[in-house]
Amino acid sequence: MELKGALCYVLDFDDIYNYAHQTAAKIKESDFQPEVIVGIARGGWIHARIQCDLLGVKELFSVKIDHWGVTATKDGKAKLTCPLTGDVTGKKVLVVDDITDTGESLTMAVEHVKECGPAEVRSATLMHIAGSKFVPDFYGVEVTWAWEIFPWNFYEDLTALIKKIFEGEKVNELSTMEVKKHLREYNNVVLSDEQLSKIKAHMGYLEVIQYPLDKAWKLKE
Ligand code: ADE
């Protein structure tokens, strides 16, 4: 069935640990043993912390890359907004992100870290989208393009997707049943009533929809 929006997959922490273990296994089989991990904020932070645990790495630093673009778009103009937070001189460094899509984040982060005097730099992601310009040295799984809704981005992504549904439907009020149905038709996303109720509370908190909450989801004017 043709979707009205971008194909999305909702991932949970079992998926994340599954992919993280697959990534770590490939690193352990390789000739590369990192001494420092650099997590790309914000998407790479949790994966970076998990790799510290799986690989026994005690040094965890950060860089921040920001994007112009929104949830579930292929757009990806990247900008380094916070440089490396620690000293990597003479160290073997693993730069970690959640996913390679356009590859701009990792390209930029790896280039930046290489300018900071390390002995060696490699990269790792949980997921790699086939055809991405940048292929990480290590990744858990290769997938075709979809918007992957990571557990650390669940409320942000769902808020953006539901905003797009309001725009697409040209309405400013929807029932929970309608939100549920449209998420399936637009994005192939199926959510429980409990998840929907938490998203609704979140959108109220952010004042995307009217607060105090009504029975309906009413866009804030
Ligand atoms: N960030 C960049 N590309 C992405 C994708 N396809 N899914 C989730 N997050 C992303």
**Any idea what the CATH number is for the domain that residue 33 is in?**
3.40.50.2020
Residue identifier of the C-alpha nearest atom 6 of ligand 1? 147
Tell me if 85 is assigned to some domain. Answer: yes
131/28 same-domain check:
yes
Nearest atom in ligand 1 to the alpha carbon of residue 105 is 2
Tell me if 7 is assigned to some domain.
no
Using the mean position of ligand 1's atoms as its centre, give its distance from the Cα of residue 99 in Å.
Answer: 6
Task: List the CATH number of the domain containing 186.
Answer: 1.10.10
Instruction: Kindly report the protein residue whose alpha carbon is nearest to atom 2 of ligand 1.
Output: 101
Nearest CA to ligand 1 atom 5: 147
81 exposed, middle or buried (CB, 10 Å; 0-12, 13-18, 19+)? exposed
Claim to verify: residue 162 and residue 90 sit in the same structural domain: no
pLDDT at 211: 96
- Domain residues for the domain of 41 are 13-145
Residues 124, 214, single domain; the answer is no
Count of domains for the chain: 2
Same-domain check for residues 205 and 122: no
The answer to whether residue 2 is domain-embedded is: no
**Is residue 48 within 6 Å of ligand 1 at its C-beta?**
no
User: What does the pLDDT read at residue 110?
Assistant: 98
- 24 and 119 part of one domain: yes
What are the 10-residue block averages of pLDDT along the chain, 221 residues in total?
95 98 99 98 98 99 86 68 98 98 95 98 98 96 98 98 98 98 98 98 98 96 82
Task: Tell me if 147 CB under 6 Å of ligand 1.
Answer: yes
Cross-strand pairs, 143: 129
Residues 111 and 156 in one domain: no
Residue 104 Cβ < 6 Å to ligand 1: no
Could you tell me if the CB of 186 is within 6 A of ligand 1? no
For the CA of 76, the nearest atom of ligand 1: 2
Task: Confirm whether 17 is domain-assigned.
Answer: yes
Which pTM does this prediction carry? 0.96
Q: Does ligand 1 lie within 6 Å of residue 101's CB atom? A: yes
> Is residue 78 within 6 Å of ligand 1 at its C-beta?
no
